[in-house]
Structure 1
């Protein structure tokens, strides 16, 4: 059974009431075998650090006062949570440990890491015993029995074995965060706020399925929600941005937290222990979330320049001062941002290799995608100038920009920066399925069209899908190099994986553009709608499915307030669906639709003049790419039958394919067998067509292959696709070879029909028609 690791920070355990609240979360969300990692309660670690400092300074009275403060806090928790024997036992253990601390202090044998470890030890013991008191099988565990380091490096294989041995029973384990041991059994710490790191390490070692970091915020926000009311809580952010935020000192996650999750499928989420019902923020793998925008602020930092900075030295310094340190390089020089109260210790360790460049700095960092950061830096500089904020140091990197200032960035200035730099734009993620002739042209046209749409909406093509492989990038695919990206980065996929990836896209809007001719892909439409996707279809299968399925699909779209455009499924780029909709919206009622809806059959019938056999004309059309690979698909009339059904449903008729009479443009017997067998019998097609052609001439008419829909006064419908003999004077008779034509009669267009005519096939016009649907969708979403 998959295990889950839950981590609770100090603010979640700051009082007896908070312990009780955490216990309820554990009872609701944990099962036997899961692990809970805890930090020291409230400000306990800060108090222990002060205790250590007083010890180093030989401040006996200060040491005694701080120790009493620690004792009082822990005793208050124990007395509020426990009764009788458990209370006496826990108080006795606390007293013994405090006496040991006092003894070591007197003997000058007190060690910093061992002292700081008490905060987590006390939290784990209290929570574990309290859960046991509530009847939950729980056991508190000292992580020094689980995590071992040698020369500062974790012994992963040994630690994995230790976890398997120590955490094998079907109980809930409450594990101390922050601490570990070295090979000599000395206590070591994992860095300030290292309990997050402990949680993800443990998850890796026990092969957990997920980690939940429970904290005092509802998730990860675009900026501090306590300072900016309009701060955006993001449902997903990628691991790289989370790691960058941690390096910049953002308190939500510890800088090392994400490293144990590399190359794993362990899910990580940040949740609120103060608002359990709030939606969490998921920290997801690269490619599963687009880059977000953040502003994270700084207080009281020093900027120092370092000569000959060694590899791993920043981590050692960070561990020394128990605080994250941001490092960057500009113009070949290495800089560190250090909390001002720790600068002296850092300079002492660096022994003459470092000097202070700027001191007592405030400021902020903008984090965003590499494509946006330069523009955001320029805009931020303008805004700061307008607000009379003096910038003392500025640095731009690939995905962030630093502004270090004299004055603190107060709530008003931060709100202005957030409004101008971060506030959520309208976003549309585009998934394109089908990269055949039309699909490739559509993607090529996207380079211009998306740039045009960007003026109104943030539109990004995030996925390209073929029948066996897909290219997926949540941040957007570079359309000018998509073929190269496809070669290097596309992967095989299953339909389940495709739906999952689309569902994980954290965009305001999503649209799937179906340029396939696949019935199987159209079967995915209900699942795509469940992922809140709009649909644009050049594929005719969904629009001609059985009435019950089709109606359910339409209802599903309506319930979710989603759009479905499919103008190119009939007439390529001709706006026939728009025309029918406009007529009906204006109050008109359509009574007849006649026409030629196949560019292939239009070309064949209009080009035939008796100078060559009909079969040779078919082979010529096949060679030019006008037909399907097997031209009998065109001659069968089924494609036109589907198109007529789509038009019928567009005007509100409830029909199925079986309700439309179908007469093929070939003898029925020729539909059987292979294409090679057909070729040996092609004369039968020539005889068939010649007979029809001569019959039309005898009536002084011309042969065309048409679709006809007639709504009778009684409400009954007559629908047929087949051979028709039409008057030589009619628009259908004089059709340009390859064109489609739609002749529409209505109450208002009864005597003088509305005629739409133009190319009914072709890569460019069809792709342009799909772009028309996309443009329409963007206007509707605005």
Structure 2
């Protein structure tokens, strides 16, 4: 889909569940290695699987290695053969006894004894004829055990030996006979049960047991998706996704949350330790999406492979292969060179320069092929390092950067991949760890993708969006920001492939759908970005209550919304603790003073070792305008109605006159200064008489003249003493004593708060350093331009803090089956 919104996406997911559409879940050997691991897998199945799904399994832990070792011992007539068999049987028996009830365990132990008897028979009589049969026991035991556990604890289940339906041409090519395999598979499916299928093993056209080689169980899983028409395949592995380089070697490698199919296939072909090109072959003509996730921490978002838009196509990664051979011959020129590249599925080659790069084990086959053409060939040890990305050979800037990065290395040639998704440098020495890190740094630096969700599309929200295109174009820190979400009070538009910033509001009007907070959080919890920032420009207390959920997901918040920062002290401290625990950033510099840097100033003083002793000023643009403009030449109520008509006040002016907004702002600044205060600690003078406080807005406006006498008397009394009246917020700290209030005060006409441009805010800060000569910050404290500008300032600040962040991969091992 070109445009994905919250409701459509989640509705589709729910419809899929309702129809019980098949999904494939594959668990590798390390995910099933121990009793604890299998218990973890059971929990994943409970949470992520449903009846009719299919689970593909590898052998438990190191079982396949143990079986291969036993086979080698048999071939060598090793005296320790039977001890190795007994040890393997004991390991399997222990898993059975630990995980099943006694009755089920006894039945499984009988099956195990029968299998071991058969294994010993083959080893004694014709081991070389039954190597694949011997290796197949690992997957058979794993599937049979998991199915028994599921049937006993979770839901009805059955297991299937893939050799009963999956047919390939031979072990070298592993091409599936789809028609025959699908016919045989359909006869084995048991409806309304959870199926557990052996990975890695199958049969050839003659009925002989075969294995699918490296990443064989992953390949089995995608074959099963092709046979069953599954919409999703999840490879539950020992890493939490695909990275921009091997994270065991490149500490700065970053997770690739979404990969286009072609790029993933090329990564697998060129040495990615988790993917293999063969794994993706069955999905070539299907809309199935492949997910890579960690069975050791299934709450972490993994990597999705499928069809995506431009943002996913911008990803770059670096991979390498050592222990290769550079083969040079005249026969590799022209048409014969093309034939050689196809025949040997070369890593790369050039039919003009007359070379191909092959794996070392292919040397004999290449030599024999060239002998038939009566031409000479030279073989040189080689390696490759490659930059992989969507159609990367067509990007001249990336190609130039790749060449510049390697200009001091011993590079034989730089080749465009025949598959167009990689640039390959052929090296005549092994690719070192240092070189891999160097190339990765230069090719992928500053490419973290940050999703931006804007909530609140009123005047300030629209202005923020109007400023966004120019900001993205001129601020380098924002070059990887992608607008992916627009949220109003009733509708939302979420697009994983990005929303056109120049047409954001138009796109919202045409495509936004109704949503609720549950639907919104469901998407935000599974976003495909390195980081996600929510800009909250709503006035909604209800929306601010989502902050804890945002922080738990590691989502960052920029808030003009004052509710969260001025909430109860318990809630506020919980927010801070949750944000810190999940490394979420929370900036709210526009909650007070719009774009004025008062919060920055307080933070900078405290971070520098200063201590605040006083914060005071005029914090309301509305009250600033009213009292700077009021001279008793017209009644106060008339002036208030004028302000209302200009949009200077809230729709109900009592919101301003109550002082609650100023009280909240003073509380936010007090907390910023490190004080543990609540709203109840700040006395607040309500300028609306009690007789008007409980009326409807219209009734209040009709009776607003009741305000006039009070303000006239206060004004005249002040004027007689050459003074003025202003609504002031004050916070003072003297030792352990804290005084905080917001009220109407009488000031001398030469006071710092007495002569402002109407609507201006002014903040006075005293500290140890600014005691005799206080720091004063003055300027417009309201307005769509300055507030939107303040939000953009926060956006730049948050991106600066995120730029050097690195999420470590949780790596157990790399399973190769």
Same fold (TM over 0.5): yes
Give the whole-Å Cα distance in 2 for the aligned partners of 1:254 and 1:492. 41
Matched, 1:124 2:139: yes
What is aligned with 1:81? 88
What is aligned with 2:778? 757
Give the whole-Å Cα distance in 1 for the aligned partners of 2:334 and 2:641. 76
Paired residues for 1:494-533 under 5 Å: 494-496=516-518, 498-499=520-521, 501-502=523-524, 504=526, 511-533=533-555
Q: What is the CA deviation profile of residues 727-750 of structure 1, one whole-angstrom value per residue up to 9, with x for unaligned ones?
A: 444343322111112345567766
Larger deviation, residues 601-610 vs 26-35: 26-35
Paired residues for 1:18-37 under 5 Å: 21=33, 25-26=37-38, 29-30=41-42, 35-37=55-57
Task: Indicate which of 606, 610, 622 corresponds to 1:600.
Answer: 622
Matched, 1:284 2:299: no
What is aligned with 1:542? 564
Contact 1:140 1:174 in 2 (8 A): yes
Larger deviation, residues 735-744 vs 22-31: 22-31
What is aligned with 2:171? none
SS in 2 for 1:440: helix
Q: What is the CA deviation profile of residues 456-494 of structure 1, one whole-angstrom value per residue up to 9, with x for unaligned ones?
A: x87524543413455556787664565566568766655
Q: What is the CA deviation profile of residues 748-779 of structure 1, one whole-angstrom value per residue up to 9, with x for unaligned ones?
A: 76676543321111122112223333444455
Report how far residue 425 of structure 1 moved: 7.0
Report how far residue 532 of structure 1 moved: 3.4
Report how far residue 222 of structure 1 moved: 3.8
Report how far residue 630 of structure 1 moved: 3.7
Contact 2:615 2:766 in 1 (8 A): yes
SS in 2 for 1:549: helix
Q: What is the CA deviation profile of residues 422-468 of structure 1, one whole-angstrom value per residue up to 9, with x for unaligned ones?
A: 4687886655433332233334444454556536x875245434134
Task: Indicate which of 186, 189, 192 corresponds to 1:164.
Answer: 189
Paired residues for 1:558-637 under 5 Å: 558=580, 563-582=585-604, 587-591=610-614, 593=616, 595-610=617-632, 614-637=636-659
Matched, 1:294 2:318: yes
Matched, 1:740 2:743: no
Report how far residue 541 of structure 1 moved: 0.6
Matched, 1:646 2:665: no
Is the alpha carbon distance of 1:328 and 1:42 closer, same or farther for their aligned partners in structure 2, counting shifts above 3 Å? same
Give the TM-score, by structure 1 length.
Answer: 0.71
Task: Indicate which of 723, 730, 733 corresponds to 1:709.
Answer: 730
Is the alpha carbon distance of 1:89 and 1:580 closer, same or farther for their aligned partners in structure 2, counting shifts above 3 Å? closer
Give the whole-Å Cα distance in 1 for the aligned partners of 2:288 and 2:491. 23
What is aligned with 1:60? none
Report how far residue 300 of structure 1 moved: 4.4
Task: Indicate which of 242, 255, 261 corresponds to 2:277.
Answer: 255
Give the whole-Å Cα distance in 1 for the aligned partners of 2:753 and 2:498. 45
Report how far residue 569 of structure 1 moved: 0.9
Task: Indicate which of 218, 225, 235 corresponds to 1:196.
Answer: 218
Task: Indicate which of 145, 170, 174 corresponds to 2:164.
Answer: 145
Report how far residue 412 of structure 1 moved: 5.7
Matched, 1:460 2:481: yes
Report how far residue 154 of structure 1 moved: 5.2
Aligned residues: 714
Matched, 1:91 2:124: no
Contact 1:238 1:283 in 2 (8 A): yes
Is the alpha carbon distance of 1:71 and 1:251 closer, same or farther for their aligned partners in structure 2, counting shifts above 3 Å? farther
Task: Indicate which of 260, 264, 269 corresponds to 2:293.
Answer: 269
SS in 1 for 2:590: helix
SS in 2 for 1:375: helix
Contact 1:249 1:325 in 2 (8 A): no
What CA RMSD, in Å, does the superposition of the two structures yield over aligned residues? Answer: 5.9
Give the whole-Å Cα distance in 1 for the aligned partners of 2:435 and 2:41. 40
Contact 1:23 1:127 in 2 (8 A): no
Give the whole-Å Cα distance in 2 for the aligned partners of 1:711 and 1:270. 53
Paired residues for 1:665-684 under 5 Å: 665-679=687-701, 681=702, 684=703
What is aligned with 1:106? none
Contact 2:724 2:749 in 1 (8 A): no
Is the alpha carbon distance of 1:400 and 1:128 closer, same or farther for their aligned partners in structure 2, counting shifts above 3 Å? closer
Give the whole-Å Cα distance in 1 for the aligned partners of 2:638 and 2:404. 71
Contact 1:124 1:140 in 2 (8 A): no
SS in 1 for 2:198: strand
Task: Indicate which of 380, 392, 399 corresponds to 2:402.
Answer: 380
What is aligned with 1:179? 202
SS in 2 for 1:544: coil
Report how far residue 548 of structure 1 moved: 1.8
Give the TM-score, by structure 2 length.
Answer: 0.68
Contact 1:178 1:193 in 2 (8 A): no
Report how far residue 237 of structure 1 moved: 5.2
Is the alpha carbon distance of 1:225 and 1:77 closer, same or farther for their aligned partners in structure 2, counting shifts above 3 Å? farther
Give the whole-Å Cα distance in 2 for the aligned partners of 1:208 and 1:77. 42
Contact 1:237 1:283 in 2 (8 A): yes
Give the whole-Å Cα distance in 2 for the aligned partners of 1:70 and 1:236. 49
Higher relative contact order, chain-length normalized (CA < 8 Å, sep 6+): 2
Is the alpha carbon distance of 1:690 and 1:743 closer, same or farther for their aligned partners in structure 2, counting shifts above 3 Å? farther
What is aligned with 1:59? none
Matched, 1:551 2:570: no
SS in 1 for 2:302: strand
Larger deviation, residues 172-181 vs 509-518: 172-181
What is aligned with 1:686? 705
Report how far residue 251 of structure 1 moved: 5.6
Give the whole-Å Cα distance in 2 for the aligned partners of 1:630 and 1:722. 20
What is aligned with 1:420? 442
What is aligned with 1:62? none
Give the whole-Å Cα distance in 2 for the aligned partners of 1:498 and 1:621. 37
Give the whole-Å Cα distance in 1 for the aligned partners of 2:302 and 2:334. 36
Is the alpha carbon distance of 1:579 and 1:28 closer, same or farther for their aligned partners in structure 2, counting shifts above 3 Å? closer
Is the alpha carbon distance of 1:611 and 1:399 closer, same or farther for their aligned partners in structure 2, counting shifts above 3 Å? farther
Contact 1:392 1:405 in 2 (8 A): no
Is the alpha carbon distance of 1:305 and 1:406 closer, same or farther for their aligned partners in structure 2, counting shifts above 3 Å? farther
Is the alpha carbon distance of 1:167 and 1:199 closer, same or farther for their aligned partners in structure 2, counting shifts above 3 Å? farther
Contact 1:293 1:369 in 2 (8 A): no
Give the whole-Å Cα distance in 2 for the aligned partners of 1:131 and 1:772. 54
Report how far residue 74 of structure 1 moved: 10
What is aligned with 2:716? 697
Is the alpha carbon distance of 1:764 and 1:717 closer, same or farther for their aligned partners in structure 2, counting shifts above 3 Å? same
